[in-house]
Amino acid sequence: LLQALGDAAVSSFRSASKGNEMVIAEEEISTIFSIFQDRAEFAQRFNSHASFRMELSRRGFMSVKDSSAKQPPPNLLRQETISLGRYNQFLFLLHEGKQSVSASMKSEVESRLRESVTGLLKRYVEKDAQFREVFEEYQFSKKGQELGESNGELRVVLTEVETELRQFLPLVLQTLKSILLWKGDIKEHIGWVFPLLTGLMICSSKDVRETVKLIFEEAVAPLLGLN
């Protein structure tokens, strides 16, 4: 149902950006925003408790061992990234498009977009820093031949954080590519976008670093007269 709702909304937004009539009322647009935002936030509240997730996994609650089970437990990490990805897609489409919407709707889209993108990129930077810190600690424990329980715990945490980074990477890249499309319009957002971009410059992902480099070269540099 949510997939169908998302597809219908995207189709309407894209059609309206080409000059066609917006078939979804603005009140309904706000409702659609809230549905996907709430779904992502619900999953995020669970996903933010890594120790709780790991304990559930140890106790067998995160996998189906009983072949009689009808379906596996929900993958809330996937739910979060898919819902947030669709939510951001709506926001970028309405922000970049030429849809005929009211000033209040434009303001709402701008506010939601800033909040969502800021939260996503800051979280990714924090998780990446955590991964590098845990990885360094894990490598040190191996060199010191501390192969007991503490080493095993570090390995579990490392795997958890790496899984989160891998799950969020496509969403982060898509967000950065959407920012890249702003080109000269990035000037309107540079105050809050710039610190997010600089934070990503030292992250582990080569793809992220290269996309940030493109944004600086093709969107930020012209603002400084560096064509």
Lowest mean pLDDT across 94-108, 136-150, 183-197? 136-150
Q: Take residue 80 and report the two structure tokens written for it.
A: 């979060």
Provide CB contacts within 8 A for 11, sequence distance 6+.
Answer: none
Q: How confident is the model at residue 66 (pLDDT cuts 50, 70, 90)?
A: very low
**90 and 33 Cβ atoms separated by less than 8 Å:** yes
Asked if residue 143 has pLDDT above 60, the reply is no
Closest CA to 91 of 187, 178, 16, 170: 178
Stated as kind and residue range, the H or E segment containing 14 is helix 2-17
Q: Retrieve residue 56's tokens.
A: 């559930």
Write the CA distances from 161 to 28, 39, 78, 100, integer angstroms: 36, 21, 14, 42
pTM value is 0.83
